[in-house]
A and B are shown apart, each in its own frame.
Chain A
Amino acid sequence: MATPRLFVKGTVLGYKRTRTIQRPSSTLLQLEGVNVKEDTGFYLGKRVCYVYKVGRESRCIWGRITRAHGNSGVVRARFQHNLPPQSFGATVRVHLFPSSI
């Protein structure tokens, strides 16, 4: 087997926002397979990593999932540095640590 995947894929939906104002300190993530608010409990506190490339080098912005957002499994996350707008629509890695099981 190649390197095992130990993270859940998520998509960056955008910043937390109202209709006209956005709050970049918090981003919204859609996790694969998580479609209901009840399922988000497992992911709270899990560390998230936005991976991007600069030239040939891979870099990462780390964050954590803070809370659910709405009723359909979307989740809010805060990163060490706010995610750049380039990340909207990009994949984010939601790791399984810190694990409570």
Chain B
Amino acid sequence: MQFTPERVRRPLVSYKNNKTTNKTVLKNNLVPGSIVILLAGRYAGSRAVFLKQLESGLILVTGPHKVNGVPLRRVNQRYVIGTQTKIDVSKVDLSNVSEEWFKHSETVLPALAETQKTLDATLLAEIKKVETMTSYMKAKFSLKKGDRPHDMIF
């Protein structure tokens, strides 16, 4: 170790620009159009369609509302099981959906309702293409006696 006789002035290190963006990583089995099972909250047990991941990291899902009553909603992906079942959502337009809508703003409600309707119509058309998909989306997931979630393939 070198001994320096004078104090050398060095600029203070600034950590101001060291911001790390901790982007939430989407679970690898979640693809737009995946059917997910909601595990908690008001719609626990319902199946919903995964639409996209929002800015905050939460995911956007919808029932569709017409099918099982689940509205356009934000959900934490850890409170959801992603199933292997998928529907085609390429025709769905999510360009005007923003995170702000879900922050309980009264002025946004009409826009939300409008988008819900058009989105539902598109999704319903896709769901009807697949046999028994409508009744599948309507049915709720529940564990029964003898069920072992650790052995299940969702």
Contact = CB atoms under 8 A, between A and B. Distances in A.
Interface of A: 1, 3-8, 33-34, 39-43, 95-101
A7 to B, nearest CB: 7
B141 interface: yes
B78 A4 contact: no
Interface residues of B, number: 23
B33 interface: no
Q: In the A-B complex, list the 5 residue pairs whose CB atoms are closest, starting with the nearest.
A: A4-B45, A4-B142, A42-B150, A98-B78, A33-B148
Contact of B141 (A4, A42, A99): A4
B128 interface: no
Contacts, number: 59
B40 A97 contact: yes
Interface in B115-154: 140-144, 146-151, 154
B150 A96 contact: no
Contacts of A95: 39-40
A72 to B, nearest CB: 14
A101 B150 contact: no
Given A95-B40, A100-B27, A101-B154, A6 B45 contact: yes
A84 to B, nearest CB: 25
